[in-house]
Amino acid sequence: MSDHRRDVSVLAVGAASLALLISPLAAVAQDDEAAASVSEACQAANLGDMLKTPGRLTLSTDNPSFPPWWGGDPSVDDSGWEVSYPPSGEGLEGGVAYAVAEALGFSADQVDWIQNPVFELAFQPGPKEFDWHMAQISVRPERAENVDFSDPYFDANQSLVAVAGTDIESVGSIEELKGYNLGAAVGTTSLQFIEEQIQPDNEPQVFNDNAAAIQALGNAQIDGLVVDLGTAFFVVAVQLEGGTIVGQFPTSAQQDQVAMVLEKDSPLTACVNEALQVVRESGRLQEIYDATITEAQGVPVIE
């Protein structure tokens, strides 16, 4: 282990703790000022043809959807949601989705959800079935050629997950990582980070999604998995037996601004930004973050 590394002291998040994340649906109902704070043109009753279904919001996320971004019990109906249940309003993105909806003047029962089966589909060119999509989508110029992005609602940095006790657990620098076999999900900024910042000696392995990458890590097909730090907590707490967060990469290397995705040149984008600003200025955005994302305590920085 490099002598400049600090001891690792991670605040563990168990599956039981994740299940107890508060639902922002109850919180949003208590704040009647939010809807009145957006401009008249952006209030629900005046959005009209801006919406896929007049009078209703159609929102989207990936299926499966994972904590800490989403929560809720998918067995409550037979809709086909896996792992989490976005209509519950639980998790960071679930909470933000309903808070922004409330700020625009929509009640929870005026929000419909559709499932995105493939991560990259949400930001491909062409018409969208949703008003906005949320699935930890990082803002990238090449993606913005095809879709609109809202203002960011979350900043994330990348991290490295491994199986405890393996050699990679002792690395303390990006240079030391170059000789290891690394992997990430296709189309993610985690994969981009490996390719552009780490530049390993071996070509990184690319997986269809994080679930496949986690399985490969558990089977020793790769030495380490790069994911954002928020996702890393859930991976080691719930998805990967014997998993550990080796470290986080500094935001100076790559900081991901996560935003909502809308159809290119959507007239709704400006209103979504207005509503998000209301949620941010009211302190609700920070409250949702505090209630759903467990922050690292002493996770070492790999520089």
Q: Which residues, including other chains, have CB under 8 Å from residue 281's CB and lie 6 or more apart?
A: none
Give residue 11's pLDDT band: very low, low, confident or very high (50, 70, 90).
very low
- In a domain? residue 200: yes
146 and 161, same domain (yes or no): no
**Better-scored residue on pLDDT, 66 or 44:** 44
240 and 172, same domain (yes or no): yes
Average pLDDT, the chain: 86
- In a domain? residue 298: no
Q: What is the pLDDT of residue 273?
A: 98
Please say if the pLDDT value at position 267 is more than 50.
yes
Residues of the domain holding 164: 155-255
- pLDDT tens readout for residues 117-166: 988 899 999 999 999 999 988 898 999 999 999 999 988 789 999 999 99
Q: Which residues pair with 225 in a beta bridge?
A: 161, 183
- pLDDT tens readout for residues 217-247: 999 999 999 998 878 988 998 889 999 999 9
Q: Which residues pair with 245 in a beta bridge?
A: 161
Q: Round to whole Å and give the CA distance between 231 and 234.
A: 5
Q: What is the pLDDT of residue 255?
A: 67
Please say if the pLDDT value at position 250 is more than 90.
no
- Chain centroid to CA 189: how far? 12
Show the tokens assigned to 62: 């990936």
Q: What is the pLDDT of residue 14?
A: 42
Give residue 32's pLDDT band: very low, low, confident or very high (50, 70, 90).
very low
Q: Which residues, including other chains, have CB under 8 Å from residue 167's CB and lie 6 or more apart?
A: 180, 223
144 and 224, same domain (yes or no): no
- Stretch 112-118: mean pLDDT: 94
Q: How many domains does the chain have?
A: 2
147 and 265, same domain (yes or no): yes
29 and 149, same domain (yes or no): yes
- In a domain? residue 113: yes
Domain CATH code at residue 126: 3.40.190.10
- Stretch 196-202: mean pLDDT: 96
- In a domain? residue 76: yes
81 and 200, same domain (yes or no): no
Highest mean pLDDT, choosing among 1-5, 62-66, 178-182, 207-211:
178-182
Q: Which residues, including other chains, have CB under 8 Å from residue 16's CB and lie 6 or more apart?
A: none
- Stretch 36-45: mean pLDDT: 89
239 and 176, same domain (yes or no): yes
CA distances from 275 to 97, 139, 173, 241 (A): 10, 19, 41, 40
- pLDDT tens readout for residues 156-195: 789 999 999 999 999 999 999 999 999 999 988 899 999 9
Give percent of the chain above pLDDT 70.
85
Q: What is the DSSP string of 66-108?
A: -TTT--S-GGGSSS---SS-GGG--SHHHHHHHHHHHHHT--G
- In a domain? residue 301: no
Q: Do residues 97 and 137 make contact, with C-beta atoms less than 8 angstroms apart?
A: no
Please say if the pLDDT value at position 54 is more than 50.
yes
- In a domain? residue 3: no
234 and 135, same domain (yes or no): no
**Better-scored residue on pLDDT, 254 or 153:** 153
Q: Which of 262, 179, 291, 182 is nearest to 226 (CA)?
A: 182
Q: Round to whole Å and give the CA distance between 227 and 184.
A: 7
Give percent of the chain above pLDDT 90.
67
- Stretch 97-122: mean pLDDT: 95
